[in-house]
Chains A and B, each alone.
Chain A
Amino acid sequence: MRKLMFVFSVFMIASMLLSSCGTPANPQPIAAATDTLAAPADTAAPAAAATEAPTAVPSPTIQPPTLTGGEGCDPAATQVTWFVGLGSGTHPEDIVLEKAWVDKYNKSQKDACVILNVVPNTGSNSYDALRAMIAGGNAPDIVGPVGKAGRASFQGGWADVKPLADKAGYDLSKYDPQLLDFTKDEGVLVGIPFALFPSFIYYNKKLFDEAQLPYPPHKVGELYIGKPWDLANFQDLAMKLTVDKTGNDATNPAFDPKNVTQFGFFEQWTDARGIAAFFAGGIPYDAATNSAVIPDSYSAAWKWYYDGVWKYHFMPTADYQNSDQFNKGNLFASGNVAMSWVHTWYTGSFDMSKMNWDIAIMPSVNGKITAKLHGDTFAIMKESKHQDVAFKVLSAMVIDPDLPIIYGGMPAVIADRPAFFAKLDAKAAPNKIDWSVAQEMLKYPDLPNHEAWMPNLAKANSLLGAFRTMMDQTPDVNMDDAIAKLKGDLDAAFKTAP
């Protein structure tokens, strides 16, 4: 017995020493080891990922909420609470700018006293905080910036701003009707168009240089290595940029998909509808029959995506996505992904000055380019007790050129865009980013939008999020069966909409 105890003691001490001195948990892939620019240390939460990321992993360190005290307000002014937390705008540097805007606004007039309340979203705590405020009878007046996905979590909780705008004499006709439609939930105008977030291909120039491949096109109609910039050409490029630990790329028969060190492409922070938008706009809902209808483009895009992950291996599985070597979900920022399809808001989620990068146009699929679009707004809560005053504040927010810059959104007002890009250029230096790509991609939005309203949206989004995760996690899936099951589940969700 004494001997056994001695052996046990020695074993425990040895195991502790081994775990502290043994192989590091995060082995550097060969490609990354030579890439001095490839691993920016930006681990900040993604700016708009909270509304999109299928699996938000909370950080153990929770940034405390911010609440201003109405400094500089006129004593007779009506208090208007502005809640930030359902999308971007919660980074410490954003909060400084938001506070500055609030101070500036409060001192500029006497009707409203804006109280800023920022609750950084870590997991779902900002959503829970907003629910608690509503239930407690302290609903904020203005919430934003918030996109469609964030609003869906409070479906039915938003005020119709059309009558408020009419009452205030605010001219909505100056906005593109399509843009106004984009800001409607369940047919109700819940905000005024404010900032646009077109999507495009972010690419890591260093990885292209290493592979001795030319950069992807920046202009619509440009060829890539003498061929049209289409799906086949794009996939071929993505496979050439996918490398295993022995240096083979994914076009090589000896390529080892279990030891990939660099991926060619990733569709970052989006759900199944976002993935489908790579092929074309669409909506899996038929209003006429109130039933689920999966567009052909959706099915084709999902199958292409699934094959890209499990058959051709140029996109990462869930295990790779969440691994240390791919920065636990913020893949492009890891420096080990050559191309990533994301929106302009992603500029706030990696160190733009440290990586050698640029942006490229979307490839065409079946002769058509689609660049999915996000649009944020500020919305007024139905439970707000001061909707008229809140609208006054909201109408000042949406025309202020300072705010879109905070959130990485292209201003809806075209004249404000040069200043927006100049600010981004300053952040990205020494890189010189071709922002004309972003403006160009704005011309190819996904219609219907991938975040378009559907009945029972929260439940439908949950199903679509799970579907994407299933594609990322599960090998050997019969996609026809999986899509048919999703259709059935969506159908049930639509038909049981509250």
Chain B
Amino acid sequence: MSAVTRTNLLSAPSRPRITATTRRQWTTGFLFLSPWIFGFFAFQLLPILFTIFLSFTDYKATSEFKLGNFNFVGLENYKHLLIDPLALPSMGVTLKFALIGIPLGLIIPLILAVLVNNRRLMASSFFRTLFYLPTVIPIVAGTIIFNGVMNAQSGWLNLVLKALGITDPPRWFTDPTWAGFALNLLAIWAVGNAMIILLAGLQGVPTELYEAATMDGAGPVTRFIYITLPMISPVVFYNLTIGVILAFQYFVPALLIGSANGDPQKSLLFFPMVFYREAFVFSRMGYASVLAIVIFVVTMIATGLLFYFGQRLVYYAGGDIS
């Protein structure tokens, strides 16, 4: 064994020399990449480093961002996180939203994608456009529209429920029992993006697999479970990962509906909103930076766990189940 290794080492080709052409290609490549690299450093890496720096200071947004306006407070901001009465409950609000929203955000677009992928559906292009359409509407505009649609008094949703005989329909955005779920419903409205990605996945499944299964007597449900789902599992996994990340960052609709206080009764006080309050309502940039770091770390951990456990269930067409 060792003789073979030695022989291989001896006969191993020497490292190829970098030619002038290769160097020129690299230079050109870096030149093309440089706008992105510059953008990454200036607008992503630098702010992240500043956030970490600020988390050790008591900087307030009412003073200029310059040396002399930062007082180092050590781990004070991190200690405050442990006694912040809103931090933990707001993480609970975020998790509750995620636990309902992520499955809904996978299942509903999958159902829609399967439906609009069906050859027998009339005007399938029309329906694909229709389901995707909400995605192009700005989130602020969409939320304001839904605030009206789900108004307990004049919203058409409750008018429909009343017409169906429900005399006391939910007070969607003013009852803490319903407010979080109402935002989950609002999120469903814009599943078009996930639907399009899943649709692309569905269209990539080889038809001969279905034909073979059909000849073997497999019905639609069996084909879906044993062929469709494994074949689109990488796309489902991608949507799941994006869903988890977006769930931990969920913010704008909650702010517009529940204000910075997370009304009704803090039921819409998501963790990013606690960060927003500290930074932009109370101007406490130091502590807000700690909260931003927490969001980052929690999202990283969740994504890491997802990759560790979830990817084992993903089937890649190369034949590996990694």
- Which residue numbers of A lie inside 8 Å of B, CB to CB? 1-2, 5-6, 8-9, 12, 16, 22-23, 25-27, 54-60, 123-124, 127-128, 131, 134-137, 139, 153-157, 317-320, 322-325, 328, 382-383, 458-459, 462, 465-466, 469-470, 472-474, 498
| B64 adjacent to A323 (CB under 8 Å) | no
Question: Does B261 touch A at the CB level, under 8 Å?
Answer: yes
| A137 adjacent to B66 (CB under 8 Å) | yes
- Give the docked Cα–Cα distance between A2 and B281 (Å): 56
What distance in Å separates the Cβ of A18 from its nearest Cβ neighbour in chain B? 10
Question: Does B306 touch A at the CB level, under 8 Å?
Answer: no
* Chain A residues closer than 8 Å to B135, beta-carbon distance: none
- Give the docked Cα–Cα distance between A2 and B265 (Å): 49
| B147 adjacent to A57 (CB under 8 Å) | yes
A466-B261 in contact given A60-B138, A319-B171 (Cβ < 8 Å): yes
Partner of B283, one of A6, A131, A136, A322: A131
Interface centre among B62, B115, B121, B148 (most CB of A within 10 A): B62
Question: Does B222 touch A at the CB level, under 8 Å?
Answer: no
| B65 adjacent to A136 (CB under 8 Å) | yes
| A323 adjacent to B153 (CB under 8 Å) | yes
Partner of A474, one of B149, B153, B264: B264
Partner of B265, one of A6, A57, A325, A470: A470
| B259 adjacent to A54 (CB under 8 Å) | yes
What distance in Å separates the Cβ of A26 from its nearest Cβ neighbour in chain B? 6
What distance in Å separates the Cβ of A277 from its nearest Cβ neighbour in chain B? 21
| B151 adjacent to A323 (CB under 8 Å) | yes
| A324 adjacent to B154 (CB under 8 Å) | yes
* Chain B residues closer than 8 Å to A383, beta-carbon distance: 63-64
| B61 adjacent to A134 (CB under 8 Å) | yes
| B138 adjacent to A139 (CB under 8 Å) | no
- Give the docked Cα–Cα distance between A12 and B63 (Å): 56
Q: Which residue of B has the minimal Cβ distance to A16?
A: B130
Partner of B259, one of A56, A139, A458: A56
| B263 adjacent to A1 (CB under 8 Å) | no
* Chain A residues closer than 8 Å to B88, beta-carbon distance: none
* Chain A residues closer than 8 Å to B115, beta-carbon distance: 5, 8
* Chain A residues closer than 8 Å to B151, beta-carbon distance: 319, 322-324
Partner of B60, one of A56, A156, A324: A156
| A5 adjacent to B265 (CB under 8 Å) | no
* Chain B residues closer than 8 Å to A26, beta-carbon distance: 154
What distance in Å separates the Cβ of B158 from its nearest Cβ neighbour in chain A? 9
- Give the docked Cα–Cα distance between A303 and B282 (Å): 29
A60-B259 in contact given A5-B118, A131-B280, A134-B64 (Cβ < 8 Å): no
| A462 adjacent to B261 (CB under 8 Å) | yes
The 4 closest A-B pairs by CB, nearest first: A157-B62, A60-B141, A323-B154, A319-B152
| B144 adjacent to A469 (CB under 8 Å) | no
- Give the docked Cα–Cα distance between A143 and B256 (Å): 26
Q: Which residue of B has the minimal Cβ distance to A138?
A: B64
- Those of B152-173 within 8 Å (CB) of chain A: 152-156, 159, 163, 171
- Give the docked Cα–Cα distance between A128 and B283 (Å): 10
Could you give 6 example pairs across A and B, Cβ below 8 Å? A317-B174, A319-B174, A323-B155, A459-B282, A462-B260, A465-B261
A55-B159 in contact given A60-B140, A137-B65 (Cβ < 8 Å): no
* Chain A residues closer than 8 Å to B171, beta-carbon distance: 319, 473
| B174 adjacent to A131 (CB under 8 Å) | no
| A474 adjacent to B154 (CB under 8 Å) | no
Interface centre among A54, A139, A466 (most CB of B within 10 A): A466
* Chain A residues closer than 8 Å to B261, beta-carbon distance: 54, 462, 465-466, 469
- Give the docked Cα–Cα distance between A323 and B141 (Å): 17
* Chain B residues closer than 8 Å to A12, beta-carbon distance: 127, 130
- Give the docked Cα–Cα distance between A470 and B263 (Å): 8
| A23 adjacent to B159 (CB under 8 Å) | yes
- Give the docked Cα–Cα distance between A286 and B102 (Å): 48
Partner of A131, one of B61, B118, B149: B61
Partner of B282, one of A319, A382, A458: A458
Question: Does B12 touch A at the CB level, under 8 Å?
Answer: no
A156-B62 in contact given A57-B144, A319-B171, A474-B265 (Cβ < 8 Å): yes
What distance in Å separates the Cβ of A138 from its nearest Cβ neighbour in chain B? 9
* Chain B residues closer than 8 Å to A317, beta-carbon distance: 174
Partner of A55, one of B259, B265, B266: B259
Q: Which residue of A has the minimal Cβ distance to B137?
A: A60
| B62 adjacent to A155 (CB under 8 Å) | yes
What distance in Å separates the Cβ of A457 from its nearest Cβ neighbour in chain B? 10
Question: Does B220 touch A at the CB level, under 8 Å?
Answer: yes
Partner of B121, one of A8, A25, A155: A8
Partner of B144, one of A23, A55, A60, A459: A60
Q: Which residue of B has the minimal Cβ distance to A2?
A: B120
* Chain A residues closer than 8 Å to B121, beta-carbon distance: 5, 8-9
* Chain A residues closer than 8 Å to B174, beta-carbon distance: 317-319, 472-474
| B260 adjacent to A320 (CB under 8 Å) | no
- Give the docked Cα–Cα distance between A25 and B160 (Å): 10
* Chain B residues closer than 8 Å to A382, beta-carbon distance: 62-63
New contact pairs (11) apart from A319-B151, A466-B261, CB-CB < 8 Å: A2-B120, A8-B121, A9-B122, A12-B127, A55-B263, A123-B255, A155-B62, A323-B155, A328-B148, A462-B260, A470-B265
- Give the docked Cα–Cα distance between A157 and B256 (Å): 27
* Chain A residues closer than 8 Å to B153, beta-carbon distance: 319-320, 323, 325
- Those of B251-290 within 8 Å (CB) of chain A: 255-256, 259-261, 263-266, 277, 280-284
- Give the docked Cα–Cα distance between A383 and B60 (Å): 13
| A473 adjacent to B282 (CB under 8 Å) | no
A124-B280 in contact given A25-B156, A55-B263 (Cβ < 8 Å): yes
| B123 adjacent to A473 (CB under 8 Å) | no
